[in-house]
Amino acid sequence: MASSANGTETHEETPPQPAGIVERLARDDVDRKRFLKMAGSAGAASFGAFVLAACGSSSSSKSTTASTATSASSSAGGDIAILNYALTLEYLESEFYSKVIAAKLFSGKVGELLQSFGSQEDSHVVALKAAVSKLGGTPAENPKGKFPITSATQVAQLAYTVENLGAAAYLGQAAKIQSPEVLASALAIHSVEARHAATLATLVKKSVTPQGAFATPADMSSVLAAVKPFLS
């Protein structure tokens, strides 16, 4: 809100903020088609290098373009690997909630909450698979999991552990992501995982900020070691 020259108040609209790749892919087919053009930039750079070479461009121009293409291709490949890593974790989380809901250990508000968490993890899977494909990669296969579903107390504690692990995993990859769009998408999912973890913390009477003021990231090897017992 701001004041005009005559003292009357005017309202300034806040411009909509751009969503990340994964979030947009989950929402809209139009955005998926638009993303195809954007995600093809690495491939376009590589193709451009061949075109310039065929047209007889200068050696320095060829070198610069080839370097750009290589850099773009490398960045895209790295981001695809990270997205597939995230996808693997989301497969497991999605399956976990599916089995929890099927076990009917929770009812009422808690049951509804866990159903909503499961639905959100399902959306993460769909969006991440689409993002990997649009970047020119092959989505990781669903590893299939095995989860001990014995009691409501045990499941709630496991859910708290799983969600904290997921949040730490995304945080651990943030600095390695090359594309600002992919980074925005990863952070959008990271935020949801952290909120899931905080909500579950109240259910199991744990701290909603277990590491204090700053969350601790987890590297890929640590996360994969942690989830190994849950793989079939």
148: tokens are: 């001990």
Q: Is residue 52 part of a domain?
A: no
> Is the pLDDT confidence value at 188 over 50?
yes
Q: How many CA within 13 A on the CB side of residue 145? A: 23
Q: Which helix (H) or strand (E) holds 2?
A: strand 2-3
Q: What is the pLDDT of residue 172?
A: 96
Q: Is residue 106 part of a domain?
A: yes
Q: Is residue 60 part of a domain?
A: no
The answer to whether the Cα torsion of 107, 113, 119, 122 is positive or negative is negative
Q: Is residue 101 part of a domain?
A: yes
Q: How many domains would you assign to the chain?
A: 1
CATH at 195: 1.20.1260.10
Q: Is residue 1 part of a domain?
A: no
Q: What is the pLDDT of residue 90?
A: 97
Q: How does pLDDT run across 111-137, given as a tens digit for each residue?
A: 999 999 999 999 999 999 999 999 999
Q: Is residue 200 part of a domain?
A: yes
Segments forming the whole domain that contains residue 119: 78-230
CA distances from 153 to 131, 158, 160, 163, 203 (A): 36, 9, 11, 16, 9
Global pTM?
0.70
Q: What is the pLDDT of residue 232?
A: 81
Closest CA to 221 of 181, 177, 168: 168
Q: Indicate the pLDDT class of residue 35, thresholds 50, 70 and 90.
A: very low
